[in-house]
Amino acid sequence: MKRNLDASAADIAADIEALAVITDPDRPWTRRAFSPLFDQGRAWLKTRFAQAGLTVATDAGGNLIGTRPGRETGLGTIMLGSHSDTVPDGGRFDGIAGVVVALEVARILDRRGAGLRHDLAVADFLAEEVSIFGVSCIGSRALAGMLPPDWLARESGGRDLRQALCDVGGQPGGLGGPLRDDLRAFLELHIEQGPVLEREGIGLGIVTAIVGITRVEMVVTGRPDHAGTTPMGARADALVAAARIVTRIEAKAAALAAGGRHFTATAGEFDISPNAANVVPSRVRLLIDIRAEDERDRDAFTDWLSALRAGEGIEISARRISDNPPVRMDAGLVARLMRAADGLGCEHRLMVSGAGHDAAFMTRLCPAAMVFVPCRGGRSHCPEEWAEAGDLALAAEGLADTVMALDEEMEG
Q: What is the pLDDT of residue 157?
A: 95
Is 310 found in the same domain as 334? no
112 domain residue, yes or no: yes
Are both 50 and 166 inside the same structural domain?
yes
Query: For position 411, what pLDDT does the model report?
Result: 73
User: d(Cα 294, Cα 37) in Å, to the nearest integer?
Assistant: 39
Q: Is residue 121 part of a domain?
A: yes
Note whether 133 and 199 are same-domain residues.
yes
Task: Compute, in degrees rounded to 10, the torsion defined by CA atoms 338, 344, 345, 349.
Answer: -30
**Domain for residue 318, yes or no?**
yes
32 pLDDT more than 80: yes
Question: What is the 8-class DSSP label of residue 330?
Answer: P
**Residue 34 predicted with pLDDT over 90:** yes
From 303, 324, 345, give the residue that closes a domain: 324
**Of the residues 269, 303, 324, the one at which a domain ends:** 324
| % of the chain beyond a pLDDT of 70 | 99
Shared domain for 97 and 60, answered yes or no, is: yes
pLDDT at 4: 86
Residue 2 included in any domain: no
3 in a domain, yes or no? no
- Kindly report the average pLDDT of the chain as a whole number: 97
4 in a structural domain: no
CATH for 227: 3.30.70.360
pLDDT score of 193 more than 70: yes
Question: Both 182 and 231 in a single domain?
Answer: no
| Same domain for 189 and 58 | yes
Asked whether residue 59 is domain-assigned, the answer is yes
Answer yes or no: do 89 and 45 share one domain: yes
Q: Which residues contact 227 (CB under 8 A, 6 or more apart)?
A: 277, 278, 279, 280
- Confidence band of 103 (pLDDT split at 50, 70, 90): very high
| Whether residues 194 and 56 fall in one domain | yes
- The predicted model gives 243-265 an average pLDDT of 97
pLDDT in tens, 114-124: 999 999 999 99
**Long-range Cβ contacts of 154-163 (<8 Å, 24+ apart):** 156/132, 157/132, 161/133, 161/135
In the chain, how many domains are there? 2
Q: What CATH number is associated with residue 128?
A: 3.40.630.10
HSE-CB at 97 with a 13 A cutoff on CA atoms is: 29
131 and 158 belong to one structural domain: yes
Its pTM surpasses 0.85? yes
Nearest to 11 by CA among 128, 120, 104, 148: 104
Report the amino acid identity of residue 195: P
- Is 2 a residue whose pLDDT tops 80? no
Domain holding 17, by residue range, is: 9-211+326-409
Local structure of 214: helix, strand or coil: strand
**Quick one: pLDDT at residue 311?**
85
pLDDT greater than 70 at residue 353: yes
> Is the confidence at residue 3, as pLDDT, over 90?
no
Residue 1 placed within a domain? no
258 & 197 share domain: no
* Short-list 277, 396, 364, CA closest to 2: 396
- Predicted confidence at residue 227, as pLDDT, reads 98
Considering the domain architecture, whether residues 48 and 151 belong to the same structural domain is answered as yes
Q: Tell whether 165 and 24 lie within a shared domain.
A: yes
Mean pLDDT along residues 344-353: 97
Give ∠ CA 392-393-398 in degrees, rounded to 5: 95
Q: Which of 277, 307, 324 is the last residue of a domain?
A: 324
Contact 27, 89 (CB under 8 A): yes
